[in-house]
A and B are shown apart, each in its own frame.
Chain A
Amino acid sequence: MFNNDPRLPSPKELIVLDMLAGKKEMYGLEMVQASGGKLARGTIYVTLMRMDDKGYVTSRQVIEENVSGLPKRVFSITGLGQRKLMGARAAHAVFVGAEVMG
């Protein structure tokens, strides 16, 4: 159903997709710290949940042994998310007139 959605990801979603494309799995705090202030702690998980609903990312809960506390939820990019990211990069490249690389 969401595969036919022609809309590009929002700027925040693009930042998240860009980070996830370079790494296998990340959790929210990692993304916030890696974004250098572009993502906020209060909004990251709402954004990620919406991206999960759209099918851009997938998540799973990680329960670490010998570590007390709440379980972490790690996110990874899906095929649709990668296509959306490539589409957004291509659109951006066309917009600025740069050459699209791989």
Chain B
Amino acid sequence: MKNKLNRSSEIWMDEGKVFAHDGKLFQYQLEVLKVEGKPGHQVEVQSAIFVGIQRQIRFDLREALLRIVDEPKRPMLPQTRKIVAPPGCLLANFADFIFSKQKLDTVLLPVISDMCEEYFEALSQNRIWKARWVRVRGTWSFFAAIGLDRAFAFVSFFIKAWKSVS
């Protein structure tokens, strides 16, 4: 198995586990048993076993191995990035399906737009919990706006009906 790894091999790491690719077809989970070398210098994996096929996030081999030496006890979990829809995307689709374009443009989309602005402002300041709170509050505001709008519509309909009768 050792001959399948070389300096151009790709290394993956996740939750303290190391994964490697043989450069051809297969990916392996690599259990590092022994690493020699000093931090900042070239290191080599002296002993390793392969325990399965996985697909994980890619790292440069040398950088990955140096991190093994530098931080042997810390989990080598890289910052995972994923693309997600902005807040209010689902609400906008829902509103687009239910309400008229005029109501959407004048009442509902501005509420979502404001929520997005506050959300991204909080994220830019690295205030994750504030961003989450903004999302919850924005969702509440969205449904409050719908409720209030429906209430006003009902009252105006009632007044018109009353006037037409009397």
Contacts and interface: CB of A to CB of B under 8 A. Distances in A.
Nearest to B103: A49
Nearest to A73: B110
Interface of B: 86, 92, 105-118, 137-138, 140-145, 148-149, 152
B86 A46 contact: no
The dominant DSSP class at the A interface is mixed
Interface of chain B: mostly helix, strand, loop or mixed: helix
A38 interface: no
A39 B106 CA distance: 17
A16 B143 CA distance: 22
A52 B149 CA distance: 14
Contacts of B112: 70
Interface in A33-56: 40-43, 45-46, 48-50, 52
Given A41-B138, A42-B148, A49 B106 contact: yes
Contacts of A72: 110, 113
B106 A45 contact: yes
Interface in A78-93: none
B85 to A, nearest CB: 12
B86 A43 contact: no
A42 B108 CA distance: 10
